[in-house]
């Protein structure tokens, strides 16, 4: 069929073109590699022949906390990053980028976050990280500090937005651990290890602070009243148990002792009554309560 033949010819041409591109790319890459090898050998021979004069140009010192990533003709030299100590390179072929391996900290500026229960809060944090793979840090991300800072801001907003205000106030360590895991999963492809995330401050609206203060004060007042009531109940039970063991004479003596212990003052007037009147009054009250119940 004519249509099928045309399609077959077009497909064959496409495959041939793709194979040619692959072959051309492979040949050009091999040629570039050969040229780079030749230039490297010639440069090494030139440095050896003029060693006393070019030695100071081909040496660089890398500090203990640094590593050097070497680009030779635009490609990263194979192997791990160089350093620390004395480093030899070819100045007209190599480009050196130093990477600091020390722990870096930065502050996340206060962020307006809406919690899961609709409460607006302002929170800021601090992030600690360090570079563990200098080659990835140089080749995978352009401005690693700015990228990590932006990612930490968005992660902070997303993490706090998934929790209620109560969780944010009571589970701060759990929230920071979740942030650490999210940041580590996102930045490890850049050669970065996030070591720690801490929430510095949590600012609530003034009206919400007043409501929480009123709630806390009411709860404290309620607990205080309950404690006072329990103390009075225990004291009354203790007095009742103590009075039940007194004889009439001992009860009368205790009554007189209580009267003598009252401080004399112009505003205090004490009337002493016979205990028989109190007994009559108590028996009368008991009789009334019995009649009322029956």
* Residue bearing the bigger pLDDT, 69 or 207: 69
H helix intervals, the chain:
2-49, 51-54, 134-139, 144-161, 165-170, 172-187, 206-244, 248-261, 275-293
- Identify the DSSP state of 188: G
Which among 240, 244, 270, 238 has a CA at the least distance from the CA of 256? 270
Average pLDDT over residues 134-150: 91
Instruction: Please state, in angstroms and rounded to a whole number, the distance separating the CA atoms of residues 238 and 227.
Output: 17
pLDDT at 12: 43
Pick the CATH number of 103-208 from 3.20.20.70, 3.30.479.30, 3.30.420.10, 1.10.3720.10: 3.30.479.30
DSSP 116: T
Q: Is residue 245 classed as helix, strand or coil in its secondary structure? A: coil
Is residue 222 helix, strand or coil?
helix
Q: Are 104 and 179 in contact (CB under 8 A)?
A: no
What number of residues does the chain have? 294
SS3 (DSSP) at 5: helix
Q: Residues 220-269: pLDDT tens digits?
A: 888 888 998 888 888 777 777 766 666 666 666 766 777 676 665 556 66
Model confidence pTM above 0.85: no
Confidence of residue 137 (pLDDT cuts 50, 70, 90): very high
- Phi, psi at 204, each rounded to 5°: -100, 155
Residues 6 or more apart whose CB falls under 8 angstroms from that of 117 comprise 164, 165
**Residue 11, CA atoms < 13 Å, CB-side half-sphere:** 6
In this prediction, what percent of the chain has a pLDDT beyond 70? 72
In this predicted structure, what is the pLDDT of residue 266? 53
- Domain boundaries of the chain, sorted by first residue: 46-99, 103-208
151 pLDDT more than 50: yes
User: Which distant-in-sequence residues (6+ apart) come within 8 Å of 144 by Cβ?
Assistant: 131, 137, 190, 192
- DSSP 8-state class, residue 81: P
**Side-chain half-sphere exposure of 52, counting CA atoms within 13 A:** 0
pLDDT > 90 in the chain, percent: 21
Q: Is the pLDDT of residue 10 over 50?
A: no
Element (H, E) at 94: strand 94-100
Q: What is the mean pLDDT of the chain?
A: 79
């Amino acid at each position: 069929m004519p249509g099928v033949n045309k399609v077959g010819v077009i497909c064959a041409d496409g495959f041939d073109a793709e194979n040619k591109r692959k072959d051309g790319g492979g040949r050009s890459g091999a040629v570039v590699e050969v040229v780079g090898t030749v230039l490297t050998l010639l440069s090494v021979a030139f440095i050896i022949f003029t060693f006393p004069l070019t030695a100071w140009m081909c040496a660089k010192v890398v500090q203990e906390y640094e590593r050097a990533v070497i680009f030779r003709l635009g490609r990263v030299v194979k192997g791990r990053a160089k350093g620390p100590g004395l480093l030899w390179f070819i100045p007209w072929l190599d480009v050196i980028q130093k990477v600091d391996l020390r722990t870096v900290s930065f502050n996340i500026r206060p962020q307006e976050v809406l919690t899961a229960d609709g409460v607006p809060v302002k929170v800021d944090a601090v992030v600690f990280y360090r570079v563990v793979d200098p080659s990835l840090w140089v080749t995978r991300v352009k401005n690693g500090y700015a990228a990590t800072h932006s990612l930490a801001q968005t992660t902070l907003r997303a993490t706090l937005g998934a929790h209620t205000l109560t969780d944010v106030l009571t589970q701060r360590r759990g929230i920071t651990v979740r942030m650490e895991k999210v940041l580590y999963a996102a930045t490890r492809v850049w050669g970065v290890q996030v070591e720690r995330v801490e929430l510095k401050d949590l600012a609530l609206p003034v009206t919400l602070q007043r409501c929480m203060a009123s709630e806390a004060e009411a709860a404290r007042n309620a607990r205080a009243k309950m404690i006072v009531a329990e103390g009075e109940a225990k004291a009354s039970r203790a007095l009742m148990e103590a009075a039940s063991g007194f004889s009439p004479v001992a009860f009368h003596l205790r009554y007189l002792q209580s009267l003598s212990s009252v401080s004399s003052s112009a505003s205090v007037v004490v009337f002493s009554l016979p205990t028989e009147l109190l007994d009559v009054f108590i028996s009368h009250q008991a009789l009334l309560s019995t009649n009322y119940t029956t």
